[in-house]
Structure 1
Amino acid sequence: MPGTPKYLLEQIADHANKFGVNAETTSALNYSEICPNFDYNNDVLTRLQWTHDLIKKKRSETRYTGQIIGANDTQFVVGAVSEPDRDIIRTVHGFMNKYALRRPYFMSFDPVPDTPLENSTPSPKWREHRLYQASFLLKDYGCKASDFDDIFNEDGFLTNDDPKMRLACVHSDYFPVDVNCAGREELLLVPGIGPISANRIMQTRPITSEQELMRMGVVMSRARPFIELNGNRQTNISSFIESAL
């Protein structure tokens, strides 16, 4: 809803369970190519601030039941203009910090006939998928935008690989992680361990077998090279990285 008047947003806040203000891209210059009739700073960023303020206001009201207003969402059209994944990830992280963005959505660009961008190259679907994975790492795993700098290619794009696995392989010196001693942040660095399984590990320790980890939801085929269990490494990490990268 870029450009929506503030009074309408206030009325919507009484009935909606989330707001969606589509940023589409990462800058005013790029936005002018996609949506020439709107202003990025005023119609998008200002609206994101308004919706963020409305969410905070509703949550703070004692009469508020908790059933309405819970999230700020946005969408990016991936590949419509030339911005690299580095810019998208930095923008997403900035929105999370400034506007409490709950979730970004990504849509791979596919040119439409008789539009200004009809001759542009379509964006591969895998790029959309990798950006979703990166956004989950920002939201749920404690990653920062700068953490991805080590896995972008020279043009600032992600490769078609799982970004969490790439980060683990690039930072192999962080591993192995002892599942019986590691803190939650350390556990979340391990491929195959997510927020739920990390919590289960910490609640259940000590853990003595891979079977226990599997019952907690750990994907052992991914986690095995990066963990230590009962003082033993489960797989040689160097050999795994050589085959994975």
Structure 2
Amino acid sequence: MGSSGSSATSEFPVVADPAAPAATPAQVAEPEHRPSGFARLLIFVGFVFALLVLSCFGLRAINVLPSFDNPFADQTTDRSQPVLLESMRDLHRYVAADGTFQVIVDLQENRDNIPDFLVNRRTLFVGSGTVETYVDFSTLAGDALKIDEEKKTIELTLPPPQQSSASLDMQRSYVVAEERGLFDRIGDAFRDDPAKQQRVYQMAQEKITEAARASGLDERARENTQRMLESLFARLGYTTVTVTFTSP
């Protein structure tokens, strides 16, 4: 058979050579992943914020910026009203002696025919208070002072020393223990009765005031008053000062 002028080329599928080496992962083209514009913006903002924080701490370390306060620290606000002056008076007394006393008040309140575990209130209170003993010069009569300029003598007739009521020191007074019955605890959960607490304070004041009367404060007040007047008039040139206290 004759051959044509242009040789025909047969196309066959290309078969990979099994002996050829496999392509490495580096030779395989991978798709390129780049962060989106929003992600790059977040990264930039975070970097700037961190830079600002580090700069502030650095300036604080060299005492350029003031120290930062805790934003969640406890705060106390004083909303008290201004102090009002209710009264004013002149004092004409000389406080000659005072005494500090301590008393333990054991007050129990219960009801008859009711068990203590139901209705009972027992308060153990330690009260500390001060009692003053003074001489009131405002009650002196016209003839209470007798002066002899030639002999340089003075005779004084004074009223007896008086004793003030006990003044409790609340910084040194405290409740040691308090027992309450079941019904009392339930009632206290719904109401507060400051009168009961005031009753304990009043008892402590009364007991301290009564104890001060038997403590010898009056005698010490007489001695201190006499020494004070003798020293005062001795500086004025008087040689003899006689102080007499009237009977209570």
Give the TM-score range, shorter chain.
under 0.3
For normalisation by structure 1, the TM-score amounts to: 0.19
Q: Answer 1 or 2: higher relative contact order, Cα 8 Å, separation at least 6.
A: 2
Larger Rg: 2
Whichever structure has more strand as a proportion of its residues is 2
